[in-house]
Amino acid sequence: MKKIAYGILMLAAGLFTTSCLDEDPQYSQNSKIIFSNEENAELALLGCYGYMTANGAYGQMWQEVPLVGSGLAWGQRNGGDENGLASLAVVPGNGLVSSTWNGMYKVIAEVNAFIESMEASSLDETVKTQKLGEARFLRAIAYYNLVSLWGDVPLKLVASSSDGIAMPRTDRVTVFGTIVDDLKAAMNISASSSTGRLNSWAAKAFLGKVYYKMAMLDIDRTANLTNAKTMFDDVYEHAGYELEPNLNSLFVPYTQAGAVTNSKEAIIQFNFNAESGVCYNRGSNRFAPQASTSGINWGTYRATRYAYDLHYGTYPGDPRVETNFLTQWRARNGNNQANPKPQVGAELCPGDSVYSYPKRLVTPKNGTAADAYVVKLPYELFADKTNPTQAEINSYTGDNADDVKGLWTHFTQVGNSEKWPYFGKLYDQTQTGTYAHKHLIVYRYAEMLLLMADVYNELDQKDRAIDLANEVLDRARKSIPLSSPVSYVAAQPADWPKSLSKEEVTEKLYFERLFELMGEPSLFDMVRVRGTEYMEKLLLKNNNHAITVATDANYATNVNNFADRLFDLGQKDALSADFLKKNLLLPIPSSEIDANPAISNTDNNFGY
């Protein structure tokens, strides 16, 4: 794809003071010139792609909000809008939520104008079918995102005009119907595409995901499970998607030698240009530790410690733990420093690196920095490796026992900023300013396989479901760090046996999707896709995580930004039905309610 083309017909996408439904697409003001030939129509279509990579969309907000609001991310406790997301206590006035809502409706506004102008053009029908199909695919993605986070949303299918801003919410069943229609139209476009562009196989794979989502919402459940199976089967057998041999090759800077920019695993991928002032990737800027890259990082968000322990404890030795969670990095003298501090040895070591949960850098009494060493939670001692306890940590009798025992106090005291792991997939050590040199895979083949497995399991074909899951587990075992000088196959995650029951497979698939997709935009949806029952199973793991509980208790007597939080006032046995129902969706933003007279304060989602 021509990276520079994304920004040609765009202005920077920012916060809007009027209803997002009334956005006037910039290029449509002179549509006769734009659509006078195929080249200009192509530039207009690239403008639509561009808005999907702007800050309000996947350039920032559609990474930030789905991850932080998933229930698996941490932010400072006085962080305002950030704290509301991380604590699952969002209010309609949350500015991050408003920006995220606006970002997708900006895409929709541009696509609607493009569609109307393209349909009215005299261009060749083959050209029109291709470009209209791509545009409708983009609209389908935007509406899927909106309906997944907000449920019933205004369904705008025509270009904006001054008399069209008052629009009520549309029942999500109708919205899903439009998504399905758009994807069916997109199935008529080319079966192949350059990296970053959409194609017909991607449309079919995404339609399978849409049918799966509808089935999980009990929208024609049996029919949509069958529909999902039909789509997934066709893609599996004929599309040519494959799992990358090493998961880590998917999350490297695209300027890096050997980087995968056109992976066979990427079903939907959006590309960025680090030199663009509009379509750039701020994921690393928002999520990477301060002074950890050549650019500017705020370390605003990290992964929760229960998320780390849940993955590590379920699959000890799973190579994906190092992929998902950044717990060690080269230190720099501050943000925006071209080079890290001098490296002491051939690998990261205490002399040149920073460490976070579950590790700690210790300097011996009467010692110097040169004598420092790293201690880590002794997971081999824990009866439940997903939930370390103080007694188990303090029972450690090996080397540096006193320092290992001190980990409980270290990790439960408030006031230390490096006590949480970071999301590793977003980290870009080569970052330029606030721009990462990474493209973003929004939907990949591994996710499709795990959704497909769930469909087969629901259709009482459990053994086939297990076979599909085992394909993902097999790749996980082989996904060693790219820097590793030795090839090996890990023991975990081990294949699932066919002796599992249907109910056991359902639960294992739920958590497997969280492990595989940790730190990716699908995380919010995957936490909630099976409703309140499974979301409660997950969130209670936070509320019963001993280190998290102890830190929250310390926060009450020593208020500090750097402390864990419990959900729903710390319930350990069962979260309230109202809390769970409320957190299936985000609130309709106050900014939209104020600007759109067809939506009132009483018309918000449950609990808001």
Under 8 Å between Cβ of 515 and 473: no
Confidence check: pLDDT of 329 > 50: yes
In this structure, the strands spanning 359-362 and 373-376 are antiparallel
Cα three-residue angle 599-604-606, rounded to 5 degrees: 160
Q: What whole-number distance in Å separates Cα of residue 94 and Cα of residue 588? A: 10
Tokens of residue 283, six digits: 């994921």
pLDDT at 22 over 80: no
Mean pLDDT, all residues of the chain? 91
Virtual torsion, Cα 211, 213, 217, 221, nearest 10 deg: 30
For strands 353-355 and 328-330, give the pairing. Answer: antiparallel
Least confident of 132-141, 161-170, 243-252, 479-488: 161-170
Contact of 250 with 189, CB cutoff 8 Å: no
Q: pTM here?
A: 0.94
Q: Tell me 496's DSSP state.
A: P
Cα(276)–Cα(283) distance, integer angstroms: 15
Instruction: Say which residue the tokens 């040149």 belong to.
Output: 352
Q: What are 219's two structure tokens? A: 């929208």
| pLDDT for position 4 | 30
CA–CA separation, 88 and 583 (whole Å): 7
CA–CA gap between residue 528 and residue 583 (Å, rounded): 9
**Residues contacting residue 479 through CB under 8 Å, at least 6 positions apart:** 246, 247, 248, 319, 320, 323
pLDDT score of 254: 86
Query: Would the pLDDT of 344 be above 50?
Result: yes
Of 592, 587, 549, the C-alpha closest to 570 is 549
In the predicted model, what is the mean pLDDT of residues 493-515? 98
> Quick check: 528 pLDDT over 50?
yes
Q: Which H or E run contains 43?
A: helix 38-52
Give me the phi and psi of 502, to 5 degrees please: -60, -45
pLDDT of residue 349: 86
pLDDT category of residue 8 using cuts at 50, 70 and 90? very low
* pLDDT at 130 exceeding the cut of 70: yes
What is the pLDDT confidence band of residue 19, given thresholds at 50, 70 and 90?
low
Predicted local distance difference test score (pLDDT) of residue 199 = 98
Beta-carbon contacts of 132 under 8 Å, excluding residues fewer than 6 positions away, are 115, 118, 119, 185
pLDDT of residue 28: 44
Measured CA to CA, the distance from residue 568 to residue 579 in angstroms comes to: 7
> Chain centroid to CA 134: how far?
23
The domain spans of the chain are 284-426
Residue 475: pLDDT band (50, 70, 90) is very high
